[in-house]
Chain A
């Protein structure tokens, strides 16, 4: 005989009694393991997605609105095993003329053979693409209904080296149409069909075309805007080596800079196709002559005026007496034409371009301080290659990006253009010129060096040394390491443990109850063991050892069942609960270690629960146990302690409620939730004390059958409290969580709602350069003014980034950035701020951090930030700038984006032209949609009703609530079973006592009523405690848009639990009291 044998024989002998315990442990283990494996599945899904979108790609260089030489890929070759592929990636909208099918937000990717080195090709022969042919991915093929051999069209935003928003750029010919034939619908696994450098909820629509062909069509010969890298070396080393190589091998052309040698005029000019040389470049050329040449609409002295001329601001050195301040040197030609003389005042009119291409004509007056020749060598080259001007033979043919009145051109002006081209007619101080004409794109148009043999190479070398290619985006970044880890925005394992927590808790409580019932049945035996010399600790350890075997078995079987649980969850997430994971789908995957953790976790929680139930046996009284008593009478002291704890918790709840009344957002919600929890604990403590008082004979008298029943509920205080606690917690959580359900249609037309009161949310592939609220803007876009009244649109600039909405499972580091005029939203009082005072916060810069507003869900769950946090965001010059979270929007259609002021946006992203996101008001949605769709057809405008967009986002939260409530419902079912088990147990234990009542004349119905009153009281106490606490917890949530008191839910939940509870009690009472009771009396 050994202790082991004793434990084993106990287990086998009490196998039936242990079955319930084992089932409880299995449920708890299954829920735990299953939840953890959901995390594995999401991780594997994201890893698969990352593998599909990246292939072998480890690092990528991506330029925004800039283009480098595609040859740079060859120049930076490291070794035979490392591959670089230049690509030209453009936004496009696709359509099929015959079927009228459309697809927006297409990635049009120009590739060459080097691209296939990054794909996991199954064949040794890379696929070949001919001009005019395209590979498309399955997603696009399905959207447009295409197969190999079909023809389709793309509309692309025609790229421009000169940003479209830059002064004097031409806002014409913005898009181009490409007609393509599908060569093949490529596969995601082997042909990189779902290529994307950004993690997204779903793969993008992809079209692959020959690089050279696209370069030609886009008029970007030998240009690319992204480069891919992969090889055998570790990613970190690859990034380091490639960036080091770029630093050596890049050329000025990669920064869109050019050095023009002019031996005839003895000068070398540094210029750019972007017209304006940016600050970084000028810093690198600080000791050289610099000029800023601009178009003057008019030079005027009195009635004499000269239209459309060049004027240059020049630094010292170009003239002996370089002008300063408002001084001006004029050419002989201008002097003659204006009949001017030294000392005269000349008025100069010129245009400046507002944020959305709004032209504003300004005037400045200069004083003539000298006359210079009409033209000197090198002067005509001071005019940059203004588009619409530089290639024109006649002045009257100019088509500049400003209002141009050709009727003002005189013969002498035309003659001047023919003879002197863009030679400036006047020169002013560089500083003055910069003050008037500098803009966010740059502060000069030419940097001039004196010509000398070999000087060009010297300048280039010097510039390369001083300029950092990373500042213009020529820098590789690791795109693989993080993506391939499968890190999701949320810990799905943890999330599902949270969602299933109540189910697990219910299973554990039920398991604990069943285990302890089983043990209590053996009380006299345990008492005897104590009497014959076993210590309390030994008894407890013997029971724990029994429990350990059950817990281990439960955890092992639970883990096995957990895998089935995960499969069910994954199945539901891919179907009925699809709303929780946005548009994606997840694959089932289980890691052995996760299952092991599940087993260990299940074992721990089950064993801990068993320990809680058997720990009292270490202090057990042998005499009481031998007499069959398992619970001593409650001591009055414990009741006092419980009342004291109840008081502390209630005071804490009230204090927390007051403290959080003025708090904002999550803090307020969290605070009130905490207050509700404290109140719940307080309610349970009061119940504890009250039951204790009943147990010791105080409180209710035996004036009625119900009162007698009440007294009975105090006999087993632990059991009664377990029932009350289980029900109260269940009701509390279901109601509290249910209050967070969002109704996207609630107040949809109101400004405070999640739609901001807007009718449509629009996104375009091609930026709209004009303000569509203005007459001019509508005219430029041929937009029906009646359908789109003034101020009916709010326009956002867009810097592409990750989708940080809750539809995307991936972890996002760089969300899409929107720039908006805060006034446009503030005037409308659009949206509700969960935290923050309003849209004006976007104007309140503190230090160098740019204030930003973000949807609260995006901030909390995707970016993991809180208001006041500062994050780094990459800017256009290759560095980063700081963004301070200044406000949280309550559940809104702007989820997934960071929003900053337009002013700050253009400062940090000067090259990002136009507007691509729109919020649209409409009194006649159909007419508005028709007008906008017609006018912006070539821009790939996609209009989504704001309520539908909000509903998609709300769907995620609502589906999680569905999951929680479904699992919570299961838990409550277990809770009801627990209540039934407790009733059955209580009644069976007291069968003799009830038999006595029968013997003294009580009818069976009266006994049923007695049992019902006793346990119905527990039910009511549990429900009341849960409801009161939940009401406090959801108080602040009720004031959020889309949320309200869930009366219907409350009624259903409480009613359902009440009915189910009463049913279980009745069934248990009937089961326990069936048959003849008098024999039980005899047994007694």
Chain B
């Protein structure tokens, strides 16, 4: 199923949600298939309700498909249990959301290191890497600041660094610039592209922003739960 260049393979993915009224289930994704190569950057676009975020959640193992198969780095994700999936998310994937969801009680440095605690503890290497990454996103001087003391763009950059701290193979971003002004959104889009190249990390982002989509190497458009 896998080859050297392919990181992620989705085959005939469907996702249905039961109707609250007990009627016919709501089909959000309908037999979707796609391959994602290592180092690729992909923008998933489409109208609201077409299943973009659902697809991203399935790729990020936050949700399970009703049907179909997902392989990540040669591993069948459907066969993994919750703990294995959590470990996978922690070590090999990074998430960026529309809202940063930083921990308000932690400093910038601490927020970045939080993922290292999920299955162990932060090492000196982790701290060094965090420092380096924060320098890279121009937050080297704000290590001990708390999220409340940062601007929206700065918070989102911290969230990006947090997603990269465990050196994932795949970076998933759900409307990462949705809550930012145009200028800040442009800067963040540029940063994501640069990091994609620098760190050789595969990037999949769901976005309504054509500008951001244009920065990606490929754009996948969804329509009625299928690739248009």
Closest approach, in angstroms, between the C-beta of A13 and any C-beta of chain B?
3
Q: Which residues of A, 1-29, contact B by the 8 Å Cβ criterion?
A: 1-3, 5-6, 9-10, 12-14
Contact, CB under 8 Å: B105 / A13: yes
The complex places the Cα of A365 from the Cα of B227 at a distance, in Å, of 129
Contact, CB under 8 Å: B118 / A538: yes
Please give the number of chain B residues whose Cβ is less than 8 angstroms from any Cβ of chain A in the complex. 41
Q: Given A533-B86, A535-B82, A535-B83, is A626 in contact with B97 using a C-beta cutoff of 8 Å? A: yes
How many CB-defined contacts (below 8 Å) exist between A and B? Answer: 91
Partner pick for B82 among A6, A532, A536, CB 8 A cutoff: A536
* Any A CB within 8 A of the CB of B162: yes
Q: Given A531-B95, A532-B163, is A623 in contact with B82 using a C-beta cutoff of 8 Å? A: no
The complex places the Cα of A636 from the Cα of B21 at a distance, in Å, of 10
Segment of B28-36, B109-117, B188-196, B217-225 engaged in the interface with chain A: B109-117
Interface range for A: 20 to 34
Contact, CB under 8 Å: A697 / B20: yes
Which residue of the partner chain A has the closest CB to B21? A697
Q: Which residues of B contact A530 (CB under 8 A)?
A: 62, 86
Contact, CB under 8 Å: A9 / B89: no
* Any B CB within 8 A of the CB of A529: yes
Contact, CB under 8 Å: A524 / B105: no
Q: Which residues of A, 620-671, contact B by the 8 Å Cβ criterion?
A: 622-623, 626, 633, 636
Closest approach, in angstroms, between the C-beta of A519 and any C-beta of chain B?
13
Contact with B along A807-834 (1 / 0, CB 8 A): 0000000000000000000000000000
Q: Which residues of A contact B95 (CB under 8 A)?
A: 528, 531-532
* Any B CB within 8 A of the CB of A525: yes
* Any B CB within 8 A of the CB of A702: no
Q: Which residues of A contact B62 (CB under 8 A)?
A: 530-531, 622-623
Contact, CB under 8 Å: B121 / A12: no
Contact, CB under 8 Å: A532 / B115: yes
Contact with A along B76-98 (1 / 0, CB 8 A): 00000011001111110111010
* Any A CB within 8 A of the CB of B103: yes
Which residue of the partner chain A has the closest CB to B103? A525
* Any A CB within 8 A of the CB of B60: yes
The complex places the Cα of A9 from the Cα of B113 at a distance, in Å, of 14
Q: Which residues of A contact B99 (CB under 8 A)?
A: 524
Q: Which residues of B contact A538 (CB under 8 A)?
A: 118
* Any B CB within 8 A of the CB of A358: no
Partner pick for A532 among B20, B63, B89, CB 8 A cutoff: B89
Closest approach, in angstroms, between the C-beta of A633 and any C-beta of chain B?
7
Contact, CB under 8 Å: B118 / A14: no
* Any B CB within 8 A of the CB of A696: yes
Q: Which residues of A contact B83 (CB under 8 A)?
A: 535
Contact, CB under 8 Å: B115 / A533: yes
* Any A CB within 8 A of the CB of B74: no
Contact with B along A513-535 (1 / 0, CB 8 A): 00000000000110111111111
Closest approach, in angstroms, between the C-beta of B19 and any C-beta of chain A?
10
* Any A CB within 8 A of the CB of B101: yes
Contact, CB under 8 Å: A9 / B20: no
The complex places the Cα of A530 from the Cα of B89 at a distance, in Å, of 9
Contact, CB under 8 Å: B122 / A2: yes
Closest approach, in angstroms, between the C-beta of B123 and any C-beta of chain A?
10
* Any A CB within 8 A of the CB of B50: no
Contact, CB under 8 Å: B105 / A14: yes
> Which of B99, B101, B102, B122 has the most A CB atoms < 10 Å from its CB?
B101
The complex places the Cα of A13 from the Cα of B104 at a distance, in Å, of 8
* Any A CB within 8 A of the CB of B10: no
The complex places the Cα of A524 from the Cα of B97 at a distance, in Å, of 10
Q: Given A1-B109, A524-B101, is A535 in contact with B116 using a C-beta cutoff of 8 Å? A: no
Q: Given A9-B105, A528-B95, A533-B86, is A1 in contact with B122 using a C-beta cutoff of 8 Å? A: yes
Contact, CB under 8 Å: A6 / B110: yes
Closest approach, in angstroms, between the C-beta of B134 and any C-beta of chain A?
13
Q: Given A623-B62, A633-B20, is A2 in contact with B117 using a C-beta cutoff of 8 Å? A: yes
Contact, CB under 8 Å: A532 / B114: yes
Q: Given A1-B113, A12-B105, A623-B62, is A532 in contact with B90 using a C-beta cutoff of 8 Å? A: yes
Q: Which residues of B contact A9 (CB under 8 A)?
A: 103, 105-106, 110
Contact, CB under 8 Å: A696 / B104: no
Closest approach, in angstroms, between the C-beta of B178 and any C-beta of chain A?
13
Contact, CB under 8 Å: B63 / A534: no
The complex places the Cα of A525 from the Cα of B119 at a distance, in Å, of 18
Q: Which residues of A contact B22 (CB under 8 A)?
A: 636
Q: Given A9-B110, A533-B90, A534-B86, is A1 in contact with B101 using a C-beta cutoff of 8 Å? A: no
Taking A3-B117, A626-B97 as known contacts, 19 extra A-B pairs with beta carbons closer than 8 A to each other, sorted by chain A number, are A1-B110, A1-B121, A3-B121, A6-B110, A6-B114, A6-B117, A10-B103, A525-B103, A528-B95, A531-B95, A532-B115, A532-B118, A532-B162, A533-B87, A533-B89, A535-B82, A622-B62, A633-B20, A696-B20
- List the 10 closest A-B pairs by CB distance, nearest first: A533-B90, A13-B105, A528-B101, A1-B113, A9-B105, A533-B118, A1-B122, A533-B89, A535-B86, A534-B118
Question: Please, could you name 19 A-B residue pairs with CB atoms under 8 Å apart, sorted by A?
Answer: A1-B106, A1-B110, A1-B113, A1-B117, A2-B117, A13-B105, A525-B101, A528-B97, A531-B60, A531-B62, A532-B90, A532-B115, A532-B118, A533-B87, A534-B86, A535-B82, A535-B83, A536-B82, A623-B57
